[in-house]
Structure 1
Amino acid sequence: MNLTQVDWVSQFEADENAVILDVRTEDEFNEGFIASAINIDIHRGQDFVTEIEALDKNKNYYVYCRSGMRSAKACEIMNQLGFENAYNLIGGITEWDGEVIEP
C-alpha cells in the first residue's frame, strides 16, 4: 500500500508493531537513513528474498528507498511472500522532510 509521508509517519508512530525497512544499497543507506531503519538491499535478488522471509510476518513494515520505486516493488514481493502489512513511502527519502540519521 502506498502512503504519503504524512500518513506513513502518523501510522508508523501509532503502531507498536512497526518496523522501518530501507531497501536501498548499503552505500545509499550509509549516506543517511530514517531512524531505526533496517537495511535489506532489494538489488541483492535471492538474498533479499531470503532475508525478507526471515522477518516476522506478524509485524507491520514501513518500507522506503530513494524515490519510492524500489520500495513499491519490495512491498509487492513482501505481499507475495505472505506479509499482509507493507507500506510504501511515496517519494522515498528524496522527499522526506523528517530527521535523517547520518552514521
Structure 2
Amino acid sequence: MSIFKKKLTVNEAINKAHTSENAMLIDCRTKDEFNHGHVAGAVNIPLDKITEDRILRRFPDKETSLYIIGSYNFRPEKAVKAFKKLGYKNAIFGGNMEEHYGMLKK
C-alpha cells in the first residue's frame, strides 16, 4: 500500500463524475476557454470566481463529490484547495484538459 494517493486522469475524473451519485464535474478554466470546448455536463466555475456565496448557492450539500478539472494555466490543484477551505471535503483533483481525449461541447 502506497502512502501517496494516485491522481486521477481527466478521463477517469469525467467517468467518475458521470457515473457516481451526488457528484459534479467542475471546470475551473476561464469562461472563454470553457466556451471553446468543454466536457458535457461540466459546470464552469473559473478559479477567480470561487467565492463562499457563489459556491454555497450552487452546491449547498458539502458532501457532494466535486471532480475539478482545469488546464496547465488554470490549475485544478488551486481550485481543490479553495473548495476544501470552504468545507467541501470531497473536492478531488480531476486532471487537465490538455490530457483529455474524447468529444467536447461548444
Q: 2:10 aligns with which of 5, 10, 21?
A: 5
Identity of aligned residues (%): 30
Q: Is the 8 A contact 1:21 1:64 kept in 2?
A: yes
State yes or no: 1:94 paired with 2:94: no
| Conserved 8 A contact 2:28-2:74 | no
Where does residue 33 of structure 2 map in the other structure? 28
Contact 1:20/1:62 (<8 A) preserved: yes
Q: Deviations over 1:2-35 (max 9, x none)?
A: 4223542443243111111111111111001011
- For 2:35 and 2:83, the matched residues in 1 are separated by 24
**Alpha-carbon shift at residue 52 of structure 1 (Å):** 2.1
What is the CA deviation profile of residues 44-87 of structure 1, one whole-angstrom value per residue up to 9, with x for unaligned ones? 4xxx2132233231211111112385211100111111101111
| 2:46 corresponding residue in structure 1 | 41
Mark the structure with the bigger radius of gyration.
2
TM-score, normalised to structure 2, is 0.78
Please tell me the root mean square deviation across aligned C-alpha atoms, in Å.
Answer: 2.1
Structure 1's unaligned 5+ residue stretches are none
Q: Equivalent residue of 2:89, what SS?
A: coil
1:89 is displaced (CA, Å) by 1.9
Q: Which runs of 5+ in 2 are unaligned?
A: none
**Alignment partner of 1:75 is 2:68:** no
Whole-angstrom distance in 1 between the partners of 2:65 and 2:32: 25
Aligned residues: 98
